Structure 1
């Protein structure tokens, strides 16, 4: 079995490991180069630096943000990483002298959960990954849904409200990711407490300690997540929704969303179908595992 370099490119860090089977070896991370730059060279040099640490590998599997045509090895948009717009990845193959396979990060998470995790055996399932933004992945009939324009699962672009006038631009604060991502949750808690900032560990510490201000913000965010899960149910009727990202490792988050969802659906006059809400099995490793599984599948199909 081939030894692969596997990278999960995020907004703040590039996580990496090698894989030759189910295990993840040599895990580490480096900062992601400035996403507001249009110069790809620092990003490509960062990948070269990672590859230099790994020794001999036979391929590079990448999980990345954006609209990605995995079959064509082409990145249409790179999300917040402006240097990854309109990229022909076959050029990277020439530079790195390795076969490269790429896939959208949220779809990698869905691939991991379907192939080895908590979506195994599920006919219709959804992954929602909470971090800097919100990623979404959908599995239907054993396949990850990509959509006609590679846009299926773009949860961060879901709107929570409409501009006052149709001609107004869509402000970022009307996007679901600006209300309910882990980053946004921490920002909302910090604002409510009148402090400069906080992280997830502090947030859950306050919550466990009975902080009423934090509890109020937390439950409001859980309600907003439950609302969108309800909307997803109306379109897809999934058997299971897996919550991912580092925040999902805390049972308070998963139970908070689950409880809000129960209350939300119970408010309907007619019985509304329930769906199973659980944590992802692989948490922060999901994108790495999914990228690896995607590489193997694409290698076999080409």
Structure 2
């Protein structure tokens, strides 16, 4: 049985897992994402690989960033700005002497869902991942749409204010991410010095804590507004929500309620109402998608 070391690089944590060729995760863990520089980042990856190199010689990685088709290189970006000018593929292959592939994190989530999850057999769909930022992937005719420069679906940078000049102060990721959701809650509670976890927040929502419910309601209203706008452009059958918080049923329920409200308020806008659900693989989608990319897409 072939095994692979799948690594999902996030802005907060680096998740990893030993995965079989059939996408069964045998073992997994996580470590904090280094904030100081590329060398610390590479040390973490090397440390993880050392743990599993007796069982696999292949690393498959999901990370924020983009592929340079001309140079055939991948550069990690997003919140890891210190990796933006570094050829991660070349460095890891040389440093660890292993097989290696890397793909954008949001695209990995979509590939996992297309392969064995919520997007299987779906012709046109949209996968949204909520984490440190907001990622997206578009599925057209049953295939992942990458665009002319492999940048399609980068939702974090969409402006939320089209009446003024573009600025990163008003991009979607500044309003619609798990990080922002928890920050808003902490601000409303006046506890900005004490980080609030997603689990704590949703426990408070389920228990009916007024501030938590209000913050979630506003978050889902804004998210549904964005999704409706995207639906006017893409006209998809299904939208799958990924990221750690997507496993919270109340989140998906609330987004559906807000989307339904938009359709009821504006019945004369004749766009199809998409099915909205949680990603099948949740927080593991990027690991599974990274494996799919290596197995079926890498030459």
Same topology, TM > 0.5: yes
* 2: CA distance, partners of 1:171 / 1:90: 31
Conserved? CA contact 2:232–2:271, under 8 Å:
no
Q: 1:183 aligned to 2:182?
A: no
* 2: CA distance, partners of 1:87 / 1:117: 33
Against the structure 1 CA distance between its residues 59 and 133, is the aligned structure 2 distance closer, same or farther, given a 3 Å change threshold? Answer: same
Q: How far 1:55 sits from its partner (Å)?
A: 2.8
Against the structure 1 CA distance between its residues 72 and 18, is the aligned structure 2 distance closer, same or farther, given a 3 Å change threshold? Answer: farther
Against the structure 1 CA distance between its residues 43 and 126, is the aligned structure 2 distance closer, same or farther, given a 3 Å change threshold? Answer: same
Q: Deviations over 1:116-155 (max 9, x none)?
A: 0000000111111111111111111232111123221111
Partner in structure 1 of residue 241 of structure 2: 243
Against the structure 1 CA distance between its residues 114 and 212, is the aligned structure 2 distance closer, same or farther, given a 3 Å change threshold? Answer: same
* 2: CA distance, partners of 1:20 / 1:214: 39
Conserved? CA contact 1:246–1:284, under 8 Å:
yes
SS at structure 2 position matched to 1:122: coil
Q: How far 1:73 sits from its partner (Å)?
A: 4.7
Partner in structure 1 of residue 274 of structure 2: 275
* 1: CA distance, partners of 2:291 / 2:101: 9
* 1: CA distance, partners of 2:291 / 2:69: 13
1:37-186 correspondence to structure 2 within 5 Å:
37=36, 39-56=37-54, 57-69=56-68, 73-88=72-87, 89-162=89-162, 164=164, 166=165, 170-172=167-169, 174-186=170-182
Partner in structure 1 of residue 208 of structure 2: 210
Conserved? CA contact 1:125–1:140, under 8 Å:
yes
* 2: CA distance, partners of 1:207 / 1:92: 43
TM-score, normalised to structure 1, is 0.91
Q: Deviations over 1:68-117 (max 9, x none)?
A: 24796512451111232233323421221112111000000000001000
Against the structure 1 CA distance between its residues 226 and 47, is the aligned structure 2 distance closer, same or farther, given a 3 Å change threshold? Answer: same
SS at structure 2 position matched to 1:210: coil
- Which structure 1 residue ranges, 5 or more long, are not aligned? none
Decide which of 179, 182, 191 is 1:195's aligned counterpart.
191
Against the structure 1 CA distance between its residues 295 and 278, is the aligned structure 2 distance closer, same or farther, given a 3 Å change threshold? Answer: same
- Which structure 2 residue ranges, 5 or more long, are not aligned? none
Partner in structure 1 of residue 4 of structure 2: 4
Please, which moves more after superposition, 9-18 or 247-256? 9-18
Q: How far 1:163 sits from its partner (Å)?
A: 7.1
Q: How far 1:2 sits from its partner (Å)?
A: 3.2
Partner in structure 2 of residue 24 of structure 1: 25
Please, which moves more after superposition, 115-124 or 54-63? 54-63
